[in-house]
Amino acid sequence: MERVVDPLARKPSALRAQSETIGFLIMVTALVIAPFVTYPLFLMQAMCFALFACAFNLLIGYVGLLSFGHALYFGWASYLSAHAAKVWGLSPELAILTGTATAAVCGLVAGSLAIRRQGIYFAMITLALAQMMYFFALQAKFTGGEDGIQAVPRGHLFGLIDLRNDMAMYAVVLIIFLASFGFIHRIIHSPFGEVLKAIRENESRAISLGYKTDRYKLVAFVLSATLAGVAGATKAIVLQLASLTDVNWPMSGEVVLMTLVGGLGTIFGPVVGAFVILVMQFKLAPIGEWVLVIQGAIFVACVLLFRRGIIGELANKLRIRL
């Protein structure tokens, strides 16, 4: 990780200390107004991916672990959530819970294997495990193979609110997104989060201070997988679809790209990155396969020129924390 000198340490002022709160208020306002301006369906999808990227960022940005297999949790949560809603007939909140629980269990198993190796191996192991689960999804009966699970009913929230209405659905997604975002913010600023950052900076030192770093890493991994699961499960209900795209490796790459573009280790970066990448895919859809080339070029450009990402650069310029 590239270290950025903590800007707050240099020049404290009332406004700068509140930068995160102000950023949060701007984000909430924008998300409340947005559905009246543009397509709610697109926004809901974008919020799901933004949450996915935030969950991923919790690992790379704050523990320094690059998981190249986050599609596993996103995709399998989406399958189980779709299956629960469509075949078991569960209400949407229970379906999302089912998907989330699946991701948590997958995260526990995959995480306890992956944290046995460090650095670059960690990335390769998570990628390989995700590919294994992709093949399971390809072969399992209930996933519907190449077709995926289609026409998932949105159902009634708590048996009361009809989610077929896009605005009702939007409100639910917004609440899920903001609650999870707040939860991540809370984790990062908790004593637990401070230990995670210590592990990122210098793991051996954290061990010598008496922290059982493997346990911290595992808990962080499970939290990240679970939150990715919330995103995937919600996405399945919103788009009424769970498919192989969600579990395949390009999805794992996409979430890395979103976070990198927005800014690794920033709180708002993944959200901005997810919106930027989705808008780009949406606008560039007509040119087909060139999107892949452009995504690759963005990766290269980000790594060589903008390692801080959009929000990271902004925060650095304004000397605030975002």
Q: How far is the CB of 123 from other proteins (least distance, A)?
A: 6
Q: Closest CB to other proteins among 2 and 147?
A: 2
CA nearest to 42, candidates 283, 248, 255, 259: 283
Q: Closest CB to other proteins among 145 and 296?
A: 296
Q: How far is the CB of 131 from other proteins (least distance, A)?
A: 5
First to last CA, the chain: 17
Q: What is the rounded CA–CA span in Å between residue 75 and residue 306?
A: 29
Residue 159 DSSP SS3: coil
Sign, CA torsion 38/229/102/182: negative
Q: How far is the CB of 135 from other proteins (least distance, A)?
A: 4
Q: How far is the CB of 302 from other proteins (least distance, A)?
A: 8
Neighbours of 300 (CB within 10 A): 10
Q: How far is the CB of 73 from other proteins (least distance, A)?
A: 16
Q: How far is the CB of 209 from other proteins (least distance, A)?
A: 21
Q: Closest CB to other proteins among 175 and 300?
A: 300
Q: How far is the CB of 293 from other proteins (least distance, A)?
A: 4
Q: Closest CB to other proteins among 29 and 118?
A: 118
Residues that bind other proteins (CB under 8 A): 1-2, 60, 64, 66, 68, 113-114, 116-121, 123-125, 127-129, 131-132, 135-136, 138-139, 249, 253, 256, 260, 288-300, 302-304, 307
Q: Closest CB to other proteins among 234 and 266?
A: 266
**Residue 162, strand partner residues:** 156
Q: Closest CB to other proteins among 51 and 110?
A: 110
H helix runs in the chain, sequence order? 14-17, 19-33, 40-62, 71-86, 92-114, 119-139, 166-189, 191-201, 203-208, 213-239, 249-262, 269-284, 290-304, 309-318
The answer to whether residues 15 and 142 touch, using CB atoms and an 8 Å cutoff, is: no
Q: What is the rounded CA–CA span in Å between residue 309 and residue 259?
A: 8
Q: Closest CB to other proteins among 98 and 126?
A: 126
Residue 112 DSSP SS3: helix
